[in-house]
Amino acid sequence: MDYGVFFADVQAWISQANQAAAHYGMSSPEFWQWVSGSAGSICSKYQDHPLAIKQMQMLAEWLEEVYEKQQRG
């Protein structure tokens, strides 16, 4: 696996996640469908490499934490 390319894809995904959150809103099902679908696509692109899976799981969990903090005010 080319780690430079992988982490560039991760960086691009984070930017896209910010755009998706602004477009859909973090409380919308469409946003979370985008998160799961796009994270799955990254994992598939890297043949479900353990690093890809763990990285995308961590990012999805991070987004969940951001969402929960927003809900608490």
Provide the CA 29 distance to its chain's centre, in angstroms.
Answer: 14
Name residue 18's amino acid: N
**How many structural domains are present in the chain?**
1
- Cβ neighbours around 33 below 10 Å, total: 12
pTM of the model: 0.92
Q: Structural domain of residue 14, as residue ranges?
A: 3-72
- What pLDDT is stored for residue 11 in this prediction? 98
Give phi and psi for 56, each to the nearest 5.
Answer: -75, -35
Beta strands (DSSP E) in 1-73 are none
- What pLDDT is stored for residue 73 in this prediction? 78
Residue numbers in the chain where pLDDT is lower than 70: none
- What pLDDT is stored for residue 29 in this prediction? 97
Distance CA 38, CA 48 (A): 13
pLDDT tens digits, one per residue of 20-39: 999 999 999 999 999 999 99
